[in-house]
Amino acid sequence: MFQYFDRIQEILNKVEVSEASAINQTIDLLTEANLNQKGIYIFGASHAGILAEELYYRAGGMMTINAIFGRELMLDQSPITVTSKMERLEGYGTTLASTIPFNEGDVLILHSVSGRNPVTIDLALAAKEKKVKIVALTNVNYSKQITSRHSSGKRLFELADVILDNHGDIGDACCSIEGIEQKVGPSSTVVGATMLNTIIVEVTRKLIEQGIEYPPIFYSANIDGGDQLNQQLFKKYEKVINYSL
């Protein structure tokens, strides 16, 4: 009945089949990171950063996910065009990376639909120097048809250990409407959130199968005892948590 519902379901069905291997690889990486007390990080610029917020500090989410935020890339900037300028500023991502305690064996999830902008490439290159595993959530077809804005000439998918392809349309919006050339309705947020939450659910399942009685999953602060349970888990996993409750 609604075009956007239909198109998103079509993309999700394709992703579930086509990206099963990459999703499983990511599940394995995050499971191993949790078992071996390695850091897990996620970053996206501007709207891509919505998925960093999605995985960070929420009930049912994984406590060991550390979001990387760049203040100048947040959507409360004014004028909003500042965010576009900053994500294209080479060196800014390197500065962000210098504030993160990356170690060998850590995992960094980078979300960029186009995969072309310097801030994300900077972070990927800096993390790879420290032997961090890179998971790229991107649109491979889209990215292959454009050039990098980074001096290395690299796009995100070319730097990744695992590529999660969101299979969206070029330009991200996915619904064509007669009378307007520009498509409407971006797909990357809902599809990316579905992929990443699928991964978190399956990582939790694997941790329990490995004998972890209390995996690092946030309890709702709005249920009785939730705050206390979260504090107990936070203390248990604090070695790989780089934020404060």
Q: Confirm whether 133 is domain-assigned.
A: yes
Residue 199, pLDDT above cutoff 90: yes
Is residue 230 in some structural domain?
no
Q: What is the mean pLDDT of residues 178-186?
A: 97
State the DSSP string of the chain: --HHHHHHHHHHHHHHHHTHHHHHHHHHHHHHHHHTT--EEEEE-GGGGHHHHHHSS-TTSBTTEEEE--GGGSTT-SSTHHHHHHHT-TTHHHHHHHTS---TT-EEEEE-SS---HHHHHHHHHHHHTT-EEEEEE-HHHHHTS--SSTT---GGGG-SEEEE----TTSEEE--TT-SS-EEE-HHHHHHHHHHHHHHHHHHHHHHTT-SS-SBPPPTTSTTHHHHHHHHHHHTGGG--S--
CATH number, domain containing residue 103: 3.40.50.10490
pTM of the model: 0.97
For 48-92, the pLDDT digits (tens) are 999 999 999 999 999 999 999 999 999 999 999 999 999 999 999
Mean pLDDT of the chain: 97
Using the predicted structure, report yes or no on whether residue 222 has a pLDDT greater than 90.
Answer: yes
* pLDDT in the model for residue 70: 95
Please report whether residue 15 resides in a domain. Answer: yes
- The predicted-structure confidence for 85-107, as pLDDT tens digits, reads as follows 999 999 999 999 999 999 999 99
Domain holding 37, by residue range, is: 3-207
What average pLDDT score do residues 27-52 get? 97
Total number of domains constituting the chain:
1
Whether the per-residue pLDDT at 1 is higher than 90: the answer is: no
Q: Above 90 in pLDDT, residue 134?
A: yes
